[in-house]
Amino acid sequence: MVDKRTKRIRNKIKKVSSRNRLSIFRSNNHIYAQVIDDSKGITLACASTLEKDLIKSQNGRKELAEIVGRTIAKRLMDKGIKDVAFDKGGYKYHGLIKILADSARAEGLNF
């Protein structure tokens, strides 16, 4: 179920920007990032801590969030996408969300 804050953020992003949306989801154990083209309703790229190379690693949650941010940025750059709109999904912009966003920006994404 999508709560009020999530709907409000998503609607603001759709009104203001025609860019693809970088959506973040954070559970207690994992963090997920996917880029969605809202006009077509498809996912362009995704990355998460559930990928084979990351499940076996012994890194902490902060390092994993940084790796996921770098991974999603590299996958988008390979497809030729540099500009996205950041959808933090109702989460506050601190902690793991901020680490993921900063690492994606460091790889060259603009948002």
For the stretch 2-28, pLDDT in tens is 788 888 888 888 777 789 999 999 999
- Give φ, ψ of 74 to 5 degrees: -65, -40
Per-residue tokens: 94: 């601190």
Assigned domain for 110 exists: no
* Segments forming the whole domain that contains residue 49: 4-103
What CATH number has the domain bearing residue 84?
3.30.420.100
Number of domains in the chain: 1
| 43, part of any domain | yes
Whole-angstrom distance, CA of residue 13 vs CA of residue 4:
14
The per-residue pLDDT for range 57-67, each reduced to its tens digit, is 888 999 999 99
Q: Out of 6-15, 31-40, 41-50, 52-61, which region has the weakest mean confidence (pLDDT)?
A: 6-15
Task: Indicate if the pLDDT at residue 32 is higher than 90.
Answer: yes
Output the 3-class SS for the chain: CCCHHHHHHHHHHHHHCCCEEEEEEECCCCEEEEEEECCCCEEEEEEECCCHHHHCCCCCHHHHHHHHHHHHHHHHHHCCCCEEEEECCCCCCCCHHHHHHHHHHHCCCEC
If one compares 2 and 84, the residue with the highest pLDDT of the two is 84
